[in-house]
Amino acid sequence: MREAKDHLYEQVGRIGKALASPKRLELIELLCQCEKPVETLAQQADISVKLASAHLKELRMARLVETRKEGKYVFYRLADPGVANLWVSLRVLAEERLLELQVALRSLARAGSELIGVEREALLRQARQGEIVIIDVRPDEEFEAGHLPYARCLPLAELKKRLRELPKGKPIVAYCRGPFCMMAGEAVELLRKKGFWAQRLEDGVAEWRHRGLPVET
């Protein structure tokens, strides 16, 4: 019985071992947005293709990611929606338990860039009624794979050139990949400098789904 029990824990431990790398966690967060080729993952995670491939191999061995081939490119995706939920749950627990993480998040957040005191259901209602404008500042392909209801696709790289598409008389809520992503904060900073009333939503699509809220494709 002891041997059998040890084997059970050993199998579960494979998941923990695969997650015991900051870069693998970042790769999972990136794959929460949409499937990506290894070259894109390497660029977005700021590592070499060789190192990205090695990390992805570990995640694949733990059955956390899957692959498909298209021509000469290998695309990676999460093996199951539960992997995204695992990432969000792990991050939330870390934020609750680790003072160092709380301090780091506060130091990264730009002053006033957080959306405070607004319920998510109320946010959807305000967007549906046209009282606010929600913008998704992630790349196009991530928006197409899944986005918050009523959100407009305005990638950060294009935002400065497309400011005329935004009404100055309405509050703007920007979001990206989640609280560890800085794109929404940069968008808010730019919008405020241009005279817009803007706030940052720390949720990304993975956090939104984790709460059981609707996501559009």
> Which amino acids are annotated catalytic?
176
Residue of 194, 183, 198, 185 lying closest to 134 (CA atoms): 198
d(CA 196, CA 146): 26
